[in-house]
């Protein structure tokens, strides 16, 4: 799989889309009387950004998922303060966080290997 780099204009486009998704889901979650409205809305935003970056094959997808994991850890810790049975879900999302950080590190390694291979190929062709 080829690692992709996205530029400033695309990040701006992503920010616009994320703002639109965040605004829309704020009202949707509010209509459903969602508990912890702010972190729940942030979770939707980080999930959207992560999915977009995954689609674009950016190594930063893993950091967006890690941010989402942190938001979900906070939400489930809040739930666990009321029912200790939710501690297992907190542990699950901590595991996801570790996995996403590991994924980011490995995507960056793959990106460096691909860049090195491209430089070698360029030198051979010249």
Write out pLDDT tens, residues 92-104.
999 999 999 999 9
Cβ 52 vs Cβ 14: under 8 Å: yes
CB atoms within 10 A of CB 46: 22
pLDDT at 74: 95
Domain count, the chain: 1
- Whether residue 1 is contained in a domain is answered as no
Q: Please report whether residue 3 resides in a domain.
A: no
What's the rounded mean pLDDT across residues 24-38? 95
Specify if 96 maps to a domain: yes
Instruction: Look up the domain containing 85 and give its range.
Output: 8-125
Whether 21 has a pLDDT exceeding 80, the answer reads yes
pLDDT at position 23, please? 98
Say whether pLDDT at 122 is over 80: no
- Contact residues for 64 (Cβ-Cβ < 8 A; gap 6+): 46, 49, 50, 53
pLDDT at 117: 83
Report whether 53 contacts 61 (CB < 8 A).
yes
- Nearest CA-CA partner of 52 in 86, 10, 91, 24: 10
What per-residue confidence (pLDDT) applies to 31?
97
Is 88 inside any structural domain? yes
Residue 26 has pLDDT above 80, yes or no: yes
Q: Is residue 2 in some structural domain?
A: no
> Does position 50 have pLDDT exceeding 90, yes or no?
yes
Torsion of CA 43, 46, 48, 52, to 10 degrees: -160
């Amino acid at each position: 799989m080829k690692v992709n780099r996205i530029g400033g204009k695309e990040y701006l486009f992503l920010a616009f889309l994320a703002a639109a998704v965040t605004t829309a889901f704020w009202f949707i979650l509010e209509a459903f009387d969602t508990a912890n409205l702010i972190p729940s809305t942030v979770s939707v935003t980080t999930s959207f950004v992560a999915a977009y970056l995954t689609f674009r094959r950016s190594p930063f997808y893993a950091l967006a998922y890690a941010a989402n994991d942190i938001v979900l850890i906070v939400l489930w810790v809040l739930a666990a303060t009321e029912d200790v049975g939710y501690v297992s879900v907190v542990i699950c999302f901590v595991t996801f966080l570790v996995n996403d950080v590991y994924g980011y590190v490995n995507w960056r390694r793959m990106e460096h290997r691909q860049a090195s291979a491209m430089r070698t190929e360029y030198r051979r062709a010249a």
